[in-house]
Amino acid sequence: MDFQFIGQEIYRLIENLYPICRSITGDGFRTSMRILKDQIPLELHEVPSGTQVFDWVVPQEWNIRDAYVMNSRGEKVIDFQKSNLHILNYSVPFQGKVKLAELKEHLFSIPEYKDWIPYRTSYYKANWGFCLSQKDLDCLEDEEYDVFIDSTLEDGHLTYGEYLLEGELEDEFLISCHSCHPSLCNDNLSGMSLATYLAKYLSTQKLRYSYRFLFIPGTIGSITWLCLNEDSASKVKHGLVVACVGDPGNMHYKKTRHGNAEIDRAVAHVLEHSGDGYEIMEFSPYGYDERQYSSPGFNLAVGNLSRTPHGRFPEYHTSADNLDFVKAESLADSFSKYLEIINVIENNKKYLNTNPKGEPQLGKRGLYSLMGGRKDASHFEMALLWVLNLSDGKHSLLDIAERSGTPFSSIHEAAKALRDCGLLIEC
Ligand SMILES: [Zn+2]
C-alpha cells in the first residue's frame, strides 16, 4: 500500500476542512460532515436542542456569520474573517460601544506565546468574547470600541455523523473522533481526516468485525450517542478515540478502563514491534470521548491513540496548531499503525493443532521448501513451531505473538501456512 500517498490525501482533506468555523452544533459542523460525505457514505443525525441525554441536555444551536472589534478610526482590530479562532466559540450575539477596560474582560490571549491566538469556548455559560494574540492586545489603545458579533444561539439541532461498515460479526470496533473544533489541525482535523480514510480503506476489505465510525462534538456528542444507543452500545468490543495524529511526535496510547483488553494488547504489541519510540499511559478519567465510553454504566473497551497527547504540545488549542504543524508523513505513519492494530484484532483467532502428538513433519508438507530461500527462514520456522505448540484451542495468535516475542504479522503468516496444509483448524 502506498502510505505516502494516503498521508498526502489525509493532509489534503485537512486543508479542505481547515477554514470552516466548527462548533459543537451549527452549520460549520454540518458543512464539515458534507465534505466527509464526499469520501464515505456518512449518515447525518440531527438531535433537537433540549433533548435530555442522561444528565445533560442538548444545547441550543450556535451559528456565526461575522464578528469584529473596531477602533475609533474605523479599523477592525480583531476580525473574525481573518481567523475563526478570534471569536470566543459559542459567543452570544452582541453589538455596542465598549471602553477598553470593559472590553478586556472579554478578551483572551496567551502571554507566553505573543503571536498565537488561543482557542476558547463558552458552551454552557452565556458569554461573548474575542481571542487575540498578546501582541495585538498590547497594541489596543485606551479608547472606546465598536463591538459587533453577528451570531445566533437558538433552538435547533446537534448534528453528528455515523458510518457503520458491516462485517461478518455483529461485534463492533468503534472509531470515534471529536469534530467540533474550528481551524485547528492536529487536535480535531487530523483525527477526522484519518478516520475518514480508514473507513474508506476498510470499506474495500472483507471484514470480520463491524466498524462504527463516529464524527461527533466532544463530550456532548458521545453522551448523546450513548444515550440514543444505550441498548446496542455493548456490541462495541474494541474501540479507539482518534485525535492528534498528525504531529511529528511519538505515538502515545492511553489504555482502556479495563487495562488489559484485547485492544490494549494489540496496540502495545504493534507499537513495541514498530521500531519507533512510543509511550503507553494508564487509563485516567480525563481526556477525549473515551471518558464517556468508559463511564461505569458502559465500560466499553475504548482507548485513545494519539501522537503527542492533548495539552502536551504548546501549539495545542492555539492558532499554531495549523497546516504547518501537521505533516503528511506523520499522518501516513499514524494511518499505517492504526491499520496494523486493526489487522491484529481482525486476525486474532484461536486454532487447534490437528497433529498435537509430537511435532508434525514439516518437510513432507512443503513447509521446509517454503522456508528454504527465505532470508528470515529461521524466524519463520520459529513462528511455525510456536503456532503449532500453542495452538491448543486456548491461546490466540496474539497470545502466541506476545509469548514468543514475535511480530503478530509473522505469527499470522505462519498460522495461514499451517492451516493451508491442514495442520491447524480454527476453533
Ligand atoms: Zn481540543
pLDDT, tens only, 22-58: 999 999 999 999 999 999 999 999 999 999 999 999 9
φ and ψ at residue 105, rounded to 5 degrees: -65, -15
Distance 327 CA to ligand 1 centre (A): 18
Distance 197 CA to ligand 1 centre (A): 21
Q: Average the pLDDT over each of 58-62, 234-238, 378-382 and give the range with the smallest value.
A: 378-382
Alpha carbon distance 164, 146 (integer Å)? 48
Distance 70 CA to ligand 1 centre (A): 29
Distance 185 CA to ligand 1 centre (A): 10
Distance 195 CA to ligand 1 centre (A): 17
φ and ψ at residue 345, rounded to 5 degrees: -60, -40
Distance 187 CA to ligand 1 centre (A): 5
**How buried is 331 (Cβ within 10 angstroms: 0-12 exposed, 13-18 middle, 19+ buried)?**
buried
Average of per-residue pLDDT across 115-144 = 97
Average of per-residue pLDDT across 76-90 = 98
Instruction: Say which DSSP state 309 is in.
Output: P
Give me the percent of the chain exceeding a pLDDT of 70: 98
Distance 164 CA to ligand 1 centre (A): 25
Average of per-residue pLDDT across 86-97 = 98
Please report where in the chains the cell 471602553 appears, as a residue: 99
In tens, the pLDDT along 342-365 reads 999 999 999 999 999 999 998 888
Distance 157 CA to ligand 1 centre (A): 21
Q: What is the pLDDT of residue 364?
A: 87
Distance 227 CA to ligand 1 centre (A): 23
In tens, the pLDDT along 197-244 reads 999 999 999 999 999 999 999 999 999 999 999 999 999 999 999 999
- 354: Cβ–Cβ under 8 A, 6 or more apart, which residues? 422, 423, 424, 425
Distance 119 CA to ligand 1 centre (A): 9
Q: What is the pLDDT of residue 210?
A: 98
Long-range contacts of 387-391 (CB under 8 A, 24+ apart): 387/351, 387/411, 387/414, 387/415, 387/418, 387/424, 388/353, 388/355, 388/359, 388/360, 388/418, 388/423, 388/424, 389/353, 391/350, 391/351, 391/352, 391/353, 391/415, 391/418, 391/424
Give me the percent of the chain exceeding a pLDDT of 90: 95
Distance 317 CA to ligand 1 centre (A): 6
Asked whether the beta carbons of 50 and 58 are under 8 A apart, the reply is yes
DSSP characters for 140-187? Answer: --SSEEEEEEEEEEES-EEEEEEEEE--SSS-EEEEEEE---SS-III
Q: What is the pLDDT of residue 370?
A: 53
Asked whether the beta carbons of 166 and 41 are under 8 A apart, the reply is no
> What three-state secondary structure class fits 13?
helix
Distance 284 CA to ligand 1 centre (A): 17
